[in-house]
Amino acid sequence: MEPDASSAARVSLRELALVFLKLGSIAFGGPAAHIAMMEDEFVTRRRWLTHEQFLDRMGAANLIPGPSSTEMAIFIGYEKLGWPGLLVAGCSFILPAALLVGAIAAAYVRYGSLPQVSGVLYALKPVVIAVVVQAFWKLARSGVKSKWLAAIGLLAAVLYGMGVHEVLILAIAAVLAVAPLLYRYFNRSPALPALAGPLWLTSFLAAGVIRVPVSSVRLFLAFAKIGAVLFGSGYVLLVFLRSDLVNRLHWLTEQQLLDSVAVGQVTPGPVFTTATFIGYIIGGLPGALAATVGIFAPGFVFVALSGFLIPRIRRSPVAGAMLDGVVVGSLALMGVVAWQLGRAAIVDLPTLVIAAASAVLLLRFRVNSAWLIVAAGAFGWWYRR
């Protein structure tokens, strides 16, 4: 994927850094909400990408392990300004959350407790649901190109509801999307085998972590392994952290793990900055740095390896159809997650009103989601104090 020279000339590295620093500072709600904000920022408002380009990058981000919203930022940075943009966009999106989580971790280690944020979370969650619904609606109108793709999306949603793994669902969606074309294409597209590269590297990294005493190097390797093998939403991270750090390595207690996840929920930016909190608890400032770099580094590597495949995939009818299937599968997962989270977020009349009002303001009046988040946070702090 070569950067778009015509559009890159209109975007400076400073502008790219500033917009991702802003997003990293206000992007609450997890990957689905982050991607929704990016769609609004870069497709609707700035027009840096078309809907098709955005959906292609979203599909690619879902094909590789790691934090999907951060990988979207890395993809967009590379699309605009090549390798410098790749590094600047990704790091700028991560930095605000990492600094904030690190500061909270320092206070946690010193005082042994977290600030009371239940009221803020209470009001923020319905806004996040509205942001996800807005993104789902806008992207579905561009991504669902036929009745066949709509049927594939419906099947993907059913499979996810039945507990089928996200990666398997995306694979099924890709195969079904290409099925109508298979009778015309019996030879394998040269672009397809290359998709196995990130998965092969994932297995290699997963097997490469060795048992050594707790140190910055060990923290880096432990979190690099998690970043290299974790598919799915930020909530899947909890499973990996509990298995590795609580049950196997005994670096954390259950309560510390739950506190770290709570910090990841209340702070903006990538949910994976939970690693910053845990790293600080285990190894202080060096540990926080090692854990943060470790969990995000695989995403940069995978995007760099897979980025050049997107134009080749789109030029191949078979591979392009498979990517269309991955896109509708990803949209289906987003829709089901929005429904599941909505049931937990909308628990009474005030949260229902917040969600409905936010959806109207976003879809009808195109209000910037950042203002809704600030207003909801202030209301929640006042309402539950």
Rounded percentage of the chain residues whose pLDDT exceeds 70:
81
For residue 364, pLDDT beyond 60: yes
Crossing angle of helices 317-345 and 147-161, in 10° steps, is 50
Bigger pLDDT: 266 vs 4: 266
| 306 CB-near residues (< 8 Å, 6+ apart) | 60, 63, 64, 195, 197, 198
pLDDT value at residue 357: 95
Tens digit of pLDDT for each residue in 220-276? Answer: 999 998 888 775 555 557 667 877 888 788 898 877 887 787 677 678 888 889 899
Bigger pLDDT: 216 vs 94: 94
pLDDT value at residue 132: 77
Question: Using CA atoms, how far apart are residues 353 and 151, in angstroms rounded to an integer?
Answer: 32
| Mean pLDDT over each residue of the chain, to the nearest integer | 80
The listed range with the strongest mean pLDDT (27-31, 215-219, 229-233, 242-246) is: 215-219
Bigger pLDDT: 314 vs 369: 369
pLDDT value at residue 24: 92
Calculate Rg over the CA atoms of the chain. Answer: 20
- Output the CA torsion sign for 320, 322, 323, 327: positive
pLDDT value at residue 193: 45
pLDDT value at residue 8: 42
Q: How confident is the model at residue 142 (pLDDT cuts 50, 70, 90)?
A: confident
pLDDT value at residue 151: 95
How many CB atoms lie under 10 A from the CB of residue 13?
Answer: 15
Question: Using CA atoms, how far apart are residues 135 and 167, in angstroms rounded to an integer?
Answer: 21
pLDDT value at residue 87: 95
For residue 116, pLDDT beyond 90: no
Q: How confident is the model at residue 185 (pLDDT cuts 50, 70, 90)?
A: low
Question: Using CA atoms, how far apart are residues 46 and 322, in angstroms rounded to an integer?
Answer: 29
DSSP 362-384: HHTS---HHHHHHHHHHHHHHHT
| 331 CB-near residues (< 8 Å, 6+ apart) | 136, 139, 140, 143, 144, 153
C-alpha angle 330-331-332 in degrees, rounded to nearest 5: 90
Q: Quick check: 61 and 329 in contact, CB under 8 A?
A: no
pLDDT value at residue 279: 94
Q: Quick check: 28 and 126 in contact, CB under 8 A?
A: no
Rounded percentage of the chain residues whose pLDDT exceeds 90:
28
* Of the candidate ranges 195-204, 281-290, 361-370, the one whose mean pLDDT is the lowest: 195-204
Which of these, 271, 256, 252, lies nearest to 113 by C-alpha position?
A: 256
Q: How confident is the model at residue 153 (pLDDT cuts 50, 70, 90)?
A: very high
Tell me how far CA of residue 10 lies from CA of 20, 43, 235, in angstroms.
16, 15, 37
Question: Using CA atoms, how far apart are residues 70 and 75, in angstroms rounded to an integer?
Answer: 9
pLDDT value at residue 233: 52
Q: What is the largest CA-CA distance in the chain?
A: 66
Whole-model pTM: value is: 0.65
For residue 205, pLDDT beyond 60: no
